[in-house]
């Protein structure tokens, strides 16, 4: 009998060990999370971590309905989402800031405009400013590229740059920051926004808090010291305080190796 | 969603463009009849380049010019822009809902031929079938309509418009139409999420239907920790289409969140017009409720506690000999234990005293329930209600087996 129990335990253990930890959510964070997971799994082959995107809202919804272990979010969780989490799982959730991001404004490399104030950005994206010559550029219509509304980047930009106002209906919605970067890289009159990690083939606009402030580019220093006006934390949300393999992964991601990967993919370390 | 639609549009448009290209080439480069009689190329060597012109009716293989391609791309872009405008509009519409199919076994059940006054409660039924339509074009206004389609018929649950001010972080919102009474916690907690089949007896009795018609002002502030809702309503609920008395009722709740612990206080003040044994035109009776509620996500993993206490005055039933409302009180308490992500074990205890001046006439219920979350959309609920009436205790326990799908 004991042998049978031992045999069953031996069979069950690998099954238990193989249950993957799922990370779902922010498209902004998906490459960083995948790199973190790959490096972590190489060091810890018995732990499987599955990373998928979909947007911060989708990740948090999955956390609430129990279909993911970790929600990756590029914005803080909303009060209404905390209420749902409390109602369903009797927990307000647990947030771990894993990286910092300077939410960058992308311009085409041929665009003569170098810097924009927050007010100009708001007017551009709400449709009040429609021509580059209104902000010191050439006489050409501004082509707006934006993200889908399930994206944390979209929500953050709307709340912190547009101050809650609605995007212009002319803004073209693209899925993923990489698609926004690609569109701006090909469109001389395009403008987009997203994480610094994706900025290839375009250049950043220096962002000014107001007319009198100097234009600031997103960098480790300016994001850390708060002089870059549009910076944010990137979070991993779990239902409870992480424990077991999940804690092992998050602790490692916050450690020197994990934060080195964060920096390598273009974000800024939290420590 | 939009990307998928664009892909579908591309799939639909590309063959059409291909057909156009074939026709264009066929018209301009159709070979003379004599050439058409030449030996056709060996089908097995189709990969090899051939100088033989295509036979009559066959498409030519000449590549379109850049200008032609540019024109087609422009046409396609226009078509896609139109499609995008349509999908943008559709994306402002949100559709959600749930259906609850159930079997109930009730100890009170007796065989009964007259369906209108049935005494047989043992049956399969659709308890709730909700579809909620929300349209929000701008963040400053919203349209909501929620019908309920069940075995008993169709009724309107929610129907309101919302106006939200854009100037402050409080987002003060004015709601007009038919909506939940802003009182306590259980009324506003969705039936799709509730961990037992029905609301507590005190809430069902004092707030039948949970909804009324009127206007409401609400907001969320102090770092989103404080919330308020205050409404002026008819006071008659939704069971009847008209308000019998001219006076309107006032109801409201304030709430504060300490993080894992939330607290609320509610007040209702109004009057009911009731026909008495001496006055068929009706007398106005006080209708008052005062309540406090809490919700606590405890430090014990997965354990949540919830409770509410309500006291007040309730108008008597029509034809009464009384001239004053009767004092009522009631409470409920939930203990909800989550086990993993798919299992929930719940116990709710509740009590309702319909007249506090009379001893031993309260009704107490203990309602143990188990919920299995089959997947992220559906769950199965097994629930048993032990009902104890202090005055006389007939056999009236109820077992409910319910399956719910929500989207």
Q: pLDDT at position B58, please?
A: 55
**Cβ–Cβ gap B342/A62 under 8 Å:** no
| Chain A interface residues (partner B, CB cutoff 8 A) | 62, 65-67, 79, 84, 86-92, 148-149, 164-166, 169, 172-173, 175, 240
B166-206 confidence digits (pLDDT tens): 888 888 999 999 999 999 999 999 999 999 999 999 999 99
Helix segments in chain A, DSSP class H: 2-18, 30-43, 56-64, 79-89, 118-126, 152-160, 177-186, 220-224, 244-254, 256-264
Answer yes or no: do A164 and B91 touch at CB < 8 A.
no
Place of tokens 């065989």: B111
Task: Please report the ipTM that was assigned to this predicted complex.
Answer: 0.72
Q: Which residue in chain B is spatially nearest to A77 when comparing CA positions?
A: B224
Locus of tokens 């102090």? B222
CA distance A170 to A195: 22
Cβ neighbours of A16 in B, within 8 Å: none
* B18-32, B106-120, B277-291, B358-372: least confident range: B18-32
Nearest residue on chain B to A85, alpha-carbon basis: B297
> Residue A194 carries which DSSP code?
E
Closest residue in B to A175 (Cα) is B3
Residues in chain A within 8 Å Cβ distance of B2: 148, 173, 175
Query: Where residue B367 falls among pLDDT bands split at 50, 70, 90?
Result: very high
CB A81 within 8 A of CB A60: yes
Helical ranges in A188-267 per DSSP H: 220-224, 244-254, 256-264
* Helix-strand-coil split of chain B, %, nearest 5: 15, 45, 35
Q: What's the gap in Å between the CA of B243 and the closest CA on chain A?
A: 34
Q: Which residue of B has its CA nearest to A84?
A: B193
Residues B63, B66, B68, B73, CA torsion sign: positive
* Under 8 Å between Cβ of A203 and A185: no
* Comparison of pLDDT for B134 and B12, the residue scoring more: B134
Closest CA to A168 of A223, A124, A233, A234: A124
The whole-number average pLDDT for the span A171-200 is 86
The alpha carbon of B284 is separated from its chain's Cα centroid by a whole number of angstroms, namely 35
pLDDT tens digits for range A99-136: 988 888 999 999 999 999 999 999 999 999 999 999 99
CB contact under 8 A, A86 and B139: no
Task: Write down the pTM of the prediction.
Answer: 0.74
Identify the DSSP state of B304: E
| Mutation choice for B interface testing from A87, A122, A186 by most B CBs within 10 A | A87
Q: Which residues contact B64 (CB under 8 A, 6 or more apart)?
A: B21, B24, B72
Nearest neighbour of A175 by CB, restricted to B3, B301, B304: B3
Q: Give the model's pLDDT for residue B180.
A: 96
Q: What is the DSSP letter of B323?
A: S
Q: How high is the mean pLDDT of chain B? A: 84
| B256 and B266 Cβ atoms separated by less than 8 Å | no
Please provide residue A175's backbone torsions phi and psi, each rounded to the nearest 5 degrees: -95, 110
The answer to whether B168 contacts chain A (CB < 8 Å) is no
CA A14 – CA A7 distance, rounded (Å): 12
How many CB atoms sit inside 10 A of residue B225's CB? 14
Two structure tokens written together for B287: 């209708």
Q: Which residues of B touch A166 (CB under 8 A)?
A: 138-139
pLDDT at B347: 98
pLDDT computed for residue B53 by the predictor: 52
With a CB cutoff of 8 Å and minimum separation 6, the contacts of A192 are A105, A106, A145, A146, A174, A180, A181, A183, A184, A202
Distance from CA of B155 to the nearest CA of A (A): 27
Taking an 8 Å cut-off on Cβ atoms, the answer to whether A86 and B262 are in contact is yes
Going from the C-alpha of B24 to that of each of A170, B17, B20, B71, B280, the distances in angstroms are 35, 10, 6, 14, 86
Residues in contact with B106: Cβ distance below 8 Å, sequence separation at least 6, in sequence order: B121, B122, B396, B397, B398, B399
Min Cα separation B221/chain A (Å): 11
B321 in reach of chain A (CB within 8 A)? no
- Whether B192 contacts chain A with CB within 8 A: no
| A9 pLDDT more than 60 | no
Dist. CA B231–CA B218, nearest whole Å: 9
Q: What percent of chain A has pLDDT over 90?
A: 56
Who contacts B340 (Cβ-Cβ below 8 Å, separation ≥6)?
Answer: none
- The C-alpha atoms of residue A98 and residue A268 are separated, in whole angstroms, by 9
Q: DSSP assignment, residue A141?
A: B
Distance of CA B210 to the CA centre of its chain: 14
Percent of chain B with pLDDT over 90: 55
Whether residue B373 and residue A173 make contact (CB cut-off 8 A), yes or no, is no
Judge: A66–B376 Cβ closer than 8 Å, yes or no: yes
pLDDT category, B339, cuts 50, 70, 90?
very high
Tell me how far apart the alpha carbons of residues A44 and A247 are, in angstroms, rounded to a whole number. 13
């Amino acid at each position: 009998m004991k042998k049978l129990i031992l045999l069953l335990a031996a069979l069950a253990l690998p099954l238990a060990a193989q249950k993957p930890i799922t990370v779902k959510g922010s498209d902004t964070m998906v490459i960083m999370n995948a790199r973190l997971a790959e490096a972590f799994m190489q060091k810890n082959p018995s732990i499987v971590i599955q990373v998928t995107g979909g947007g911060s809202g989708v990740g948090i919804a999955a956390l609430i309905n129990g279909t993911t272990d970790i929600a990756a979010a590029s914005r803080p969780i909303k009060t209404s989402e905390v209420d749902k989490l409390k109602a369903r799982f009797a927990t307000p959730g647990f947030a771990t800031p894993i990286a910092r991001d300077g939410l960058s404004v992308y311009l085409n490399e041929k665009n003569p405009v170098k810097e924009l104030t927050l007010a100009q950005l708001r007017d551009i994206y709400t449709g009040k400013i429609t021509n580059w010559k209104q902000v010191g550029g050439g006489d050409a219509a501004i082509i707006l590229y934006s993200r889908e509304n399930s994206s944390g980047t979209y929500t953050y930009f709307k709340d912190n740059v547009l101050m809650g106002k609605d995007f212009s209906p002319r803004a073209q919605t693209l899925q993923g920051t990489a698609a926004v970067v690609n569109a701006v890289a090909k469109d001389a009159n395009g403008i987009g926004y997203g994480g610094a990690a994706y900025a290839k083939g375009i250049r950043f606009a220096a962002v000014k808090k107001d007319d009198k402030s100097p234009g600031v580019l997103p960098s480790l220093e300016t994001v850390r010291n708060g002089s870059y006006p549009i910076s944010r934390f990137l979070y991993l949300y779990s239902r409870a305080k992480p424990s077991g393999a999940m804690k092992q992964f998050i602790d490692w991601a916050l450690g020197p190796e994990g934060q080195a990967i964060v920096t390598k993919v273009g974000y800024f370390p939290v420590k | 969603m939009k990307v998928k639609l664009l892909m579908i549009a591309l799939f639909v448009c590309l063959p059409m463009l291909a057909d156009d290209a074939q026709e264009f080439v066929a018209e301009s480069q159709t070979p003379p009849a004599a050439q058409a009689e030449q030996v056709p190329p060996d089908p097995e060597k189709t990969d090899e380049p051939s100088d033989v012109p295509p036979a009559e009716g066959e498409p030519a293989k000449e590549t379109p010019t850049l200008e032609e391609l540019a024109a087609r791309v422009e046409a396609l872009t226009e078509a896609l822009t139109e499609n995008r405008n349509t999908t943008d509009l559709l994306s402002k519409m949100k559709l959600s809902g749930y259906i609850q199919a159930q079997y109930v076994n009730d100890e009170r059940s007796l065989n009964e031929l007259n369906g209108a006054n049935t005494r047989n409660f043992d049956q399969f039924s659709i308890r709730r079938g909700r579809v909620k339509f929300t349209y929000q074009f701008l963040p400053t206004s919203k349209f909501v309509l929620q019908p309920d389609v069940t075995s008993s018929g169709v009724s309107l649950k929610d129907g309101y418009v919302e106006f939200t001010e854009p100037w402050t972080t409080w987002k003060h919102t004015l709601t007009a139409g038919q909506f939940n009474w802003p009182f306590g916690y259980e009324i506003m907690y969705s039936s799709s999420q509730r961990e037992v089949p029905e609301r507590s007896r005190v809430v069902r009795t004092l707030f039948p239907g949970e909804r009324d018609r009127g206007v409401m002002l609400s907001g969320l502030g102090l770092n989103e920790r404080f919330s308020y809702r205050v409404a002026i309503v008819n006071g008659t609920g939704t069971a009847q289409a008209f308000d019998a008395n001219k006076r309107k009722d006032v109801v409201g709740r304030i709430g504060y969140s300490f993080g894992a612990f939330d607290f609320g206080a509610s007040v209702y003040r109004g009057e009911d017009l009731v026909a008495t044994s001496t006055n068929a035109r009706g007398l106005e009776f006080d209708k008052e409720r005062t309540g406090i509620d809490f919700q606590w996500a405890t430090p014990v993993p997965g354990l949540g506690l919830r409770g509410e206490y309500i006291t007040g005055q309730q108008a008597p039933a029509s034809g009464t000999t009384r001239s004053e409302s009767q004092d009522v009180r009631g409470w409920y308490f939930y203990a909800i234990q989550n086990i993993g992500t798919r299992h929930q074990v719940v116990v709710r205890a509740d009590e309702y005293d319909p007249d506090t001046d009379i001893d031993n006439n309260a009704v107490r219920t203990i309602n143990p329930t188990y919920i299995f979350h089959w997947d992220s959309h559906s769950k199965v609920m097994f629930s048993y209600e032990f009902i104890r009436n202090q005055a006389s205790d007939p056999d009236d326990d109820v077992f409910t087996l319910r399956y719910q799908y929500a989207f």
